[in-house]
């Protein structure tokens, strides 16, 4: 497991140390001499899958992972991107749910999982979207792709352009439905990016992933994501399987207003992918929490820090430019400390807005984050005699 932002602290020589506080104005407090606190971070988790990760939806932080950038066959996870593009068309108003699509021979004869549309029939976009998302219908995916882009190959081009725009840098699609294709691959990390963007930008369409069954032409089919029935708070998103890919599952769940996205790629069976997804989600909900670490423009006063060449009694205050929330182990929450590390050689004059150092937030020996800080006031340079004889 990789906890990418928890690193051991290297203490510098020009450091202001102070206790964590959530108030707008923060003052320096000397914590040296306090008894040491032993802080234990969560034990690494081991899963039976080729690659996997757990992402916090709110912060985008990767909580745990294994081979998250390893290229793998996506199988039917491909249809998440197909649905994402359809959701975008619906959101822009260029596509309507009540529009009907004439089913081509190609779509009707697409192999693999089906919603069983008939060649020459007309089916609403609404039904095709549900058939693709809930039933994982390859025929529905091809029909929608042809309707939007004229052909499935044109639609694949849209998929790859969208992947690039989202920052899915290790993904390439070759089919609209996830059936094996030349040079088709993705990663656990890229699938998490896609799922997060789907949930954030297209919540109405995303809700379809929580539907447990869908009936079309008298045929009732069940959502293959069994976590909808077995794991509290699960509301999506998609399973996938081919012989090359193994058993894949992207899942998302919400408990106590906290949402996680899990990705399992290349597990040995449908049962294992479900069990490992539950382990991963449980790991997040039980061991981690979102923590507000800094509020934009909160003032930090360095009352006890002398600035070289500054006028007598000059006091520097600093601020950060962004509000920062991170996902951290629950065991860290009550043991957070902060320190300001000023830039080497910093001396007056200092202009307001000038970068002067970093705010380092830690829990015991584990560094959580470094935040750039900037002068909130101007520090004048002392005159010659004050500097030499003051």
- Residues with a catalytic annotation lie at 76, 79, 136
Angle at CA of residue 226, ends 285 and 274, nearest 5°: 60
Most distant pair of Cα atoms in the chain: their distance: 95
Q: Is 307 exposed, middle or buried (0-12, 13-18, 19+ CB in 10 A)?
A: buried
Q: Which tokens in the block code for residue 228?
A: 């909808």
The 10 Å Cβ neighbour count of residue 261 is 28
Is 352 annotated in a binding site? The answer is: no
**Which residues touch 144 (CB under 8 Å, ≥6 apart)?**
82, 86, 101, 125, 128, 129, 132, 176
Helix or strand (DSSP H, E) at 319: strand 316-319
The Cα 333–Cα 337 span in angstroms is 10
Whether 317 and 376 have beta carbons less than 8 Å apart is answered as: yes
The Cα 135–Cα 115 span in angstroms is 6
Whether 308 and 314 have beta carbons less than 8 Å apart is answered as: no
* Binding residue positions for substrate: 238
């Amino acid at each position: 497991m990789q906890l990418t932002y928890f690193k051991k602290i290297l203490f510098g020589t020009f450091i202001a140390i102070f206790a964590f506080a959530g108030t707008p104005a923060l003052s320096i407090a000397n914590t040296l001499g306090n008894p040491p606190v032993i802080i234990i971070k969560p034990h690494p988790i081991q899963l039976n899958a080729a690659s996997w990760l757990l992402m916090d939806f709110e912060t985008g932080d990767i909580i745990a992972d294994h081979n998250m950038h390893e290229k793998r066959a996506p199988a039917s996870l491909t249809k998440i991107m197909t649905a994402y593009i359809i959701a975008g068309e619906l959101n822009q108003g260029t596509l309507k749910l009540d529009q009907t699509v004439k089913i081509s021979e190609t779509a009707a004869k697409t192999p693999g999982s089906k919603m069983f549309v008939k060649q020459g029939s007309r089916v609403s976009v609404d039904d095709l979207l549900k058939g693709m998302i809930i039933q994982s219908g390859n025929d529905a995916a091809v029909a929608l792709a042809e309707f939007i882009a004229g052909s499935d190959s044109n639609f694949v081009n849209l998929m790859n352009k969208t992947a690039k725009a989202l920052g899915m840098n290790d993904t390439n699609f070759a089919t609209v439905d996830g059936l094996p294709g030349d040079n088709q691959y993705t990663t656990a990390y890229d699938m998490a990016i896609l799922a997060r963007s789907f949930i954030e930008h297209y919540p109405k369409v995303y809700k379809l992933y929580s539907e447990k069954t869908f009936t079309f032409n008298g045929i009732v089919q069940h959502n293959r994501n069994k976590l909808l029935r077995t794991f509290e708070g699960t509301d999506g998103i998609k399973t996938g399987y081919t012989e090359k890919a193994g058993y894949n599952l992207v899942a998302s769940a919400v408990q106590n207003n906290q949402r996680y996205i899990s990705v399992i790629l290349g597990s040995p069976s449908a049962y294992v992918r479900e069990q490992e997804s539950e382990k991963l989600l449980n790991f997040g909900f039980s061991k981690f929490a979102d923590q507000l670490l800094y509020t934009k423009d909160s003032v930090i006063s360095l009352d006890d820090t002398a600035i070289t060449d500054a006028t007598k009694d000059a006091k520097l205050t600093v601020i950060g430019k962004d509000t920062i929330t991170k996902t951290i182990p629950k065991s860290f929450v009550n043991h957070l400390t902060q320190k300001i590390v000023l830039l080497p050689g910093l001396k007056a004059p200092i202009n307001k807005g000038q970068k002067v150092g970093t705010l380092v937030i830690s829990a015991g020996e584990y560094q959580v984050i470094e935040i750039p800080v900037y002068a909130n006031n101007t520090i004048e340079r002392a005159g010659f005699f004050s500097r030499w004889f003051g």
